[in-house]
Amino acid sequence: MSFANRKDAGARLAAALEGYHGKFPVVIALPRGGVVVAAEIATALDAPLDLLFVQKIGVPFHSELAMGAIVEGPEPTIVRNESIIRQARSTTGNFLRYAS
């Protein structure tokens, strides 16, 4: 399925989620593209919109490949992709193993 843009994607997803209207959903978006999609959904469902800030931890020399992420909050959460860490044999990945 392709979309004209993120706003179009959000409108179509909102239509698919129409069953949640009136059930007090909360829409959570990731910055950098997700906010436009989520705003369409929140508007259509008359739901509050919140942001979740996440920092990707990339594999060295493969910037698009994530071996983990840090989720902001009062106590930041580290999420690890153990499979990628093993494959990359990354010392950063080894740090991530013990960081949380």
Q: What is the pLDDT of residues 1-12, one digit of tens each?
A: 799 999 999 999
3-class SS at 64? strand
- Distance (Å, rounded) from C-alpha 83 to C-alpha 8? 34
Q: What is the pLDDT of residues 37-88, one digit of tens each?
A: 999 999 999 999 999 999 988 888 887 899 999 998 899 899 989 899 888 8
Residue 36 pLDDT: 96
Q: Which residues contact 57 (CB under 8 A, 6 or more apart)?
A: 66, 67, 68, 69, 70, 92, 96
| pTM of the shown model | 0.73
Greatest distance between any 2 Cα atoms in the chain: 48
